[in-house]
């Protein structure tokens, strides 16, 4: 059997490889136990990037069709049994659609996987996740430490991991120590714990407009009064924040100042100082969500709000889930020692403690330097993809759309012509093998905001980005011809 690629079709290259092997394995043309070509060899034979083959093989592993044995190679497996006609995914979709119609909540995770070019993801590229090296770390850990990592562990988190996080934060100018750090099940739990400790139904919380959808959904579920502050190319407009504080004093400010989700913007240094001074003057706690602060590509780095805080009003939240593997679900929060004690008690009531095994493994992974190696590689790859999507947008949509060139993170926030209906555009895109996150998900007023879409360039292979943007441009232009919307990129 020979694998022939069609580079003129809309089907991504990696997906053609997946489809070829999936069909051959499921039909029995390639029997179980057959060794597949090494990724480098197959990439050379096909004349494509090795990462594309890596991406295809990872998808086949997820589907349970192949496995890699260290030192031996990659082999086919017996295909999983066929699912029944009415799958749990179908039932979930029906339930999820009803839920979205009621309150506009949206599943921004990558599950179930989208079969096409997926700009809607909320994390990095699965093909870059350090699966193999992390597996080795886990194996070594289990061999050397036995059953201890399998116990509940410390509710505040594994002490050596908290010490390592403290060292990382200190290197970033954040003065902290292990007793001021709590390990959480991802950054989302950290946000939830802070909201539960600080806020009651009816309390006011200030957020950016737009803001991180999962935090917004959390605040809505708690029946909070949500006040949003507009943004521009330099992040939150702090002058508007001050005017609103004078009218209504909030109990909490939630912000994503560095590589903001969804806009990709970075709060200017001047505004960071303004925000810290405002919080100190009015004694308002700030949640600083630093979900991908390490993904810096170019330009000047900005100090974290926490590093500028002299009054311990800033609660700093970070995560390893976005940079390593979302399924790890290990985040952390640092703040005043008394606050961390309250958060730890609240967390204990929720889940007793975060996954002890993964905390041990993550500590080992970080201390031997593999995390930094992975971070350096991810920055190189994602920067290249950022440049590719920026070039593609200028090539195809410079006269129709507006966007700001991000210096880090995952996202480009695309302003589309106001005449377009985002929901209709999304439906058309999905029919053509393309997906994005509609902008209204990130606004408190939801469907009233129809002029933006969020594009995750980091999760899409560089071979697929130009085709995806070209298809998006065709659908935007065909959806509403003769548009005269001014465009810029900065």
What band does 157 get if pLDDT is binned at 50, 70 and 90?
A: very high
Mean pLDDT of the chain: 88
Across the chain, which distance is largest between two alpha carbons, in Å?
72
pLDDT at residue 101 is higher than 50: no
* Strand-pair category, 204-209 with 252-255: parallel
Rg over alpha carbons for the chain, rounded to the nearest Å, is: 23
Question: Distance between CA 354 and CA 356 in Å, rounded?
Answer: 6
Quick: pLDDT tens for 420-439. Answer: 989 899 999 999 999 999 99
CATH 3.50.50.60 assigned to domain 13-76? The reply is no
Q: Phi and psi for 81 in degrees, rounded to 5?
A: -65, 150
Residue 88 has pLDDT above 70, yes or no: no
How many residues in the chain?
490
Within the chain, which residue ranges are assigned CATH 3.40.640.10? 132-370
Instruction: At 478, list the tokens.
Output: 């065909």
Q: What CA–CA distance (Å, rounded) separates 105 from 84?
A: 28
What pLDDT score was predicted for residue 488?
34
- pLDDT class for 471, splitting at 50, 70, 90? very high
Q: Which helix (H) or strand (E) holds 35?
A: strand 35-36
Which string of DSSP letters, residue by residue, matches 244-301? HHHHS--SEEEE--SS-TTT-----HHHHHHHHHHHHHHT--EEEE-TTTT-B-SS--
pLDDT score of 104:
47
Q: Are strands 286-289 and 235-236 parallel, antiparallel or unpaired?
A: unpaired
Q: Residue 188 above 50 pLDDT?
A: yes
Residue 354 has pLDDT above 70, yes or no: yes
How does DSSP classify residue 403?
Answer: B
Peptide bond into 341 cis (omega under 30): no
Residue from 470, 384, 466, 462 nearest 49 by CA: 462
pLDDT for 84 = 44
Compare 445 and 75 and report the one with higher pLDDT. 75
Cβ within 8 Å of residue 466, ≥6 positions away: 388, 392
Does 159 have pLDDT greater than 90?
yes
CATH 3.90.1150.10 in the chain, residues?
88-126+376-479
CATH class of 88-126+376-479: alpha beta
Distance separating alpha carbons of residues 485 and 490, to the nearest angstrom: 16
Q: How far apart are CA 487 and CA 49, in angstroms?
A: 33
What pTM value is reported for the model? Answer: 0.77
Rounded-to-integer distance, Cα 485 and Cα 488, Å:
10
pLDDT in tens, 360-377: 999 988 887 788 888 899
Question: Strand, helix or coil at 328?
Answer: helix
The CATH 1.10.10.10 portion of the chain extends over 13-76
Q: Does domain 132-370 have CATH number 3.30.1370.100?
A: no
């Amino acid at each position: 059997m020979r694998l022939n690629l069609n580079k003129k079709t809309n089907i991504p290259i990696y997906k053609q490889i997946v489809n070829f092997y999936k069909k051959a394995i499921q039909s029995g043309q390639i029997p179980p136990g057959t060794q597949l070509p090494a990724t480098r060899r197959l990439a050379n034979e096909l004349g494509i990037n090795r990462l594309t083959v890596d991406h295809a093989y990872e998808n086949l592993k997820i589907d349970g069709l192949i496995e890699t044995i260290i030192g031996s190679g990659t082999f086919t497996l017996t295909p999983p049994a066929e699912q029944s006609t009415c799958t749990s995914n179908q039932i979930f979709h029906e339930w999820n659609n009803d839920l979205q119609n009621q309150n506009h909540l949206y599943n921004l995770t990558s599950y179930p996987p989208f079969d096409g070019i997926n700009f809607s993801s909320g994390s990095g590229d699965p093909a870059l996740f350090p699966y193999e090296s992390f597996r080795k770390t886990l194996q070594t850990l289990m061999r050397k430490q036995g059953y201890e990592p399998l116990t509940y562990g410390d509710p505040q988190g594994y002490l050596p991991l908290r010490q390592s996080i403290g060292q990382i934060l200190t290197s970033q100018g954040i003065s902290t120590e292990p007793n001021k750090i709590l390990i959480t099940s991802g950054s989302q739990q950290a946000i939830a714990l802070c909201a539960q400790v600080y806020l009651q139904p009816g309390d006011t919380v200030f957020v950016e407009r737009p803001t991180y959808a999962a935090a917004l959904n959390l605040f809505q579920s708690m029946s909070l009064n949500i006040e949003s502050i507009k943004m521009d190319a330099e992040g939150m407009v702090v002058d508007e924040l001050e005017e609103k504080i004078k009218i209504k004093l909030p109990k909490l400010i939630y912000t994503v100042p560095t590589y903001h989700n969804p806009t990709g913007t970075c709060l200017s240094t001047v505004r960071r100082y303004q925000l810290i001074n405002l919080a100190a003057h009015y004694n308002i706690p700030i949640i600083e969500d630093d979900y991908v602060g390490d993904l810096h590509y170019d330009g000047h780095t900005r100090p974290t709000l926490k590093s500028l805080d002299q009054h311990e009003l800033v609660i700093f939240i970070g995560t390893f889930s976005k940079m390593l593997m979302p399924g790890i679900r290990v985040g952390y929060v640092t703040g005043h020692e008394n606050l961390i004690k309250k958060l730890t008690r609240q967390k204990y009531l929720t889940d007793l403690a975060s996954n002890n095994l993964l905390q041990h493994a993550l500590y080992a992974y970080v201390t031997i330097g593999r995390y930094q190696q992975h971070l350096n590689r991810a920055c190189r790859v994602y920067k290249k993809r950022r440049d590719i999507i920026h070039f593609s947008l200028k090539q195809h949509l410079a006269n129709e759309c507006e966007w700001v060139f991000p210096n880090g993170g995952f996202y480009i926030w695309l302003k589309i012509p106001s005449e377009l209906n985002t929901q209709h555009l999304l439906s058309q895109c999905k029919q053509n093998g393309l997906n994005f996150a509609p902008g209204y998900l990130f606004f408190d007023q939801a469907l009233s905001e129809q002029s933006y879409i969020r594009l995750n360039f980091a999760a899409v292979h560089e071979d697929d980005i130009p085709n995806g943007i070209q298809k998006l441009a065709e659908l935007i232009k065909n959806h509403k011809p003769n548009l005269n919307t001014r465009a810029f990129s900065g």
